[in-house]
Amino acid sequence: LTKDQRWMRCDIKSISLLANVLDKQKGFEKGFFEVWQLRKKFITEGTTSNAFIVNKKNQICTHPKNNLILGGVTRDCVVEIALKNKLKVIEKAFNIDDIKNCNEAFLTSTTLGIIPVVKVEDTIINKKQVGLITKNLMKKLEDFLDKQVYE
């Protein structure tokens, strides 16, 4: 986790992604794949991804699309797939306590799809096991993408 130092229009994809690159590098140097950014104690998004958790009620939580995140097309697809499969999606910012108490976590990225998250700093999520909802969404996204290519 790192403080979100970006400007207040993160929803605009611009050539000014320096803060993201610097935070991604800091995380890499500490052995992390990705860094989730914090603004006023709430996770906004990753440096190159959108952040999701699955809470104790098996509801999928992610930051709402607004000026504080760059809402990705894969994020939108995953939200749509979840809703079509009768999963509850809550677009509301979550914090580190929510991460500590969640059942699952994952991130989305256009280049990577859905990547399970099993550890955030010192917090182990689901005994480092990929959760069932995450696995299901990974399969559904793969099916959705195959359908786009092959039909």
Active site residues: 13
Reduce the DSSP state of residue 73 to 3 states and report it: helix
Question: What does the block give as tokens for 53?
Answer: 């958790």
Angle between helices 132-150 and 73-84 (to 10 degrees): 110
How is 2-54 classified by DSSP, letter by letter? EE--S-S-TTS--S--HHHHHHHHHHHHTT-S--EEEETTEEEEESSSEEEEE
Integer Cα distance of 51 and 116 in angstroms: 10
Angle at 119 between CA 46 and CA 130, to 5 degrees: 100
